[in-house]
Amino acid sequence: MPLSPLACDPSQTLGREFALEGSIARGPRSPYQRDRDRIIHSIAFRRLRHKTQVFVAPDGDHYRVRLTHSLEVAQIGRVIARVLGLDEDLTEALCLAHDIGHPPFGHSGEDALDEALKEQGGWDHNANTLRTLMRLESPYCEHEGLNLTWETLEGLAKHNGPVRSPNWALAELDAAYPLHLGEWSCLEAQVAAIADDIAYDNHDIDDGLRAGFLHLDDLLTQPFVAEQWRAVEAKHPSAPHDRKLRELVRSQIGIMVNDVIAETQSRTQGMAGIVDIRAASRASAAFSPAMAEAERTLKRFMYDRLYYHPEQLATAEKAHQVVSGLFAAYREDPSRMGEAWASRLPQEEPQRSRHIADFIAGMTDRFAIAQYRMIHGTAPEGLSNV
């Protein structure tokens, strides 16, 4: 299928931060396919297997973690990209990498790092995604980072929209390799962002029901969910209840995907190329107004009933304690980080604290718990609530 004029054409890439003269191409891959493969083969990507999505350090094998979430986002993103004629490989790379910067324990871990670095510029997981891919994850002899294409990096930097006030990490990277932060990102990145919304809106329902934090009767107070449930009941009246719940989630994903495709086609009608996407006054990939309102209402419900559930908040406090405790311990005695990290610790601030945060942010949930237990002799009980 030919690419849309609105797509990022891999043959027209703006290149990479580090140009390698005389480099040998390995196989017939496009630049965006290479980006995707570099991300998949990175240590940072593998660590997503043991990083919190919703439930902290889940013991159950059936719950999503950052890795499985990222794979589901990529599946949804590729479907939308294919219908819109966008570059599927770039879309997939963005979907797979969008959460690589998350620390252990999800947003509670992020809050703890932001608090620890409040005098050193704070901490942000999206900026840390770029920092990880451009500086910290360095498997190559010739340069720092994975040396991804400009389009992948700018898409990750601003997939949620133009960045008017970048924090220190993103500002440093943008100064070294300008990413045009004030413009909208390419359409592939916008698709990745809304695929993220579709994925977690629905798989969090699935996990919340499985864990007993959500109940169908409460979900049915949401008009969008109730409408899809009635359709499932009408189509499969004799099916087992658990299968109908799975069908509900699949149905909602499909309806949201179709809505985004139609709304994006409408918003981009008359646009001639990527320049128009970047210069637009609003997102070009989006839900319709009606779906956007339904999705916002559903999100508010999920925050109230799942993300801010008392048991979730209690577990998040314990996770915050672990990350804060690790930061304090490494500040007190950097040798606890091990020779590789301690030997590179800067003496001056803010670089010193940021280096410690880099070390902690790369941890998985279980490694962070093990490190805390090794330093303090014990770890908070009940860090996994499913």
pLDDT tens per residue across span 123-143: 999 999 999 999 999 999 999
Residue 57 has pLDDT above 80, yes or no: no
Residue 21 has pLDDT above 80, yes or no: no
Of the candidates 292, 210, 293, the one whose C-alpha atom is nearest the C-alpha of residue 249 is 210
In this prediction, residue 59 carries a pLDDT of 77
In terms of C-beta distances under 8 Å and separation of at least 24 residues, what long-range contacts does 207-215 make, across chains too?
207/53, 207/54, 207/55, 207/63, 207/64, 208/54, 208/302, 208/305, 208/306, 209/245, 210/62, 210/63, 211/55, 211/60, 211/63, 211/385, 211/386, 213/305, 213/306, 213/309, 213/311, 213/312, 214/305, 214/306
Residue 382 has pLDDT above 90, yes or no: no
pLDDT per position as a tens digit, 201-221: 999 999 999 999 999 999 999
237: confidence class by pLDDT, cuts 50, 70, 90 = very high
269: confidence class by pLDDT, cuts 50, 70, 90 = very high
**What percent of the chain stands above pLDDT 90?**
94
Residue 355 has pLDDT above 70, yes or no: yes
In this prediction, residue 386 carries a pLDDT of 84
In this prediction, residue 23 carries a pLDDT of 65
384: confidence class by pLDDT, cuts 50, 70, 90 = confident
Q: Are 370 and 143 in contact (CB under 8 A)?
A: no
Residue 257 has pLDDT above 70, yes or no: yes
Instruction: Using only the alpha carbons of the chain, give its radius of gyration.
Output: 22
Residue 22 has pLDDT above 70, yes or no: no
Q: In angstroms, what CA-CA distances link 53 with 50, 133, 173, 219, 307?
A: 9, 20, 27, 20, 11
Average pLDDT, the chain: 96
**What percent of the chain stands above pLDDT 70?**
99
**Count of beta carbons in the 10 Å neighbourhood of residue 374:** 11
Mean pLDDT of 239-257: 97
Mean pLDDT of 264-269: 98
Mean pLDDT of 292-297: 98
In this prediction, residue 26 carries a pLDDT of 73
Question: What is the token pair recorded at 123?
Answer: 């901490």
Q: Are 192 and 155 in contact (CB under 8 A)?
A: yes
Mean pLDDT of 35-47: 98
In this prediction, residue 25 carries a pLDDT of 66
In this prediction, residue 365 carries a pLDDT of 96
With 0.85 as the threshold, say if the pTM is over it: yes
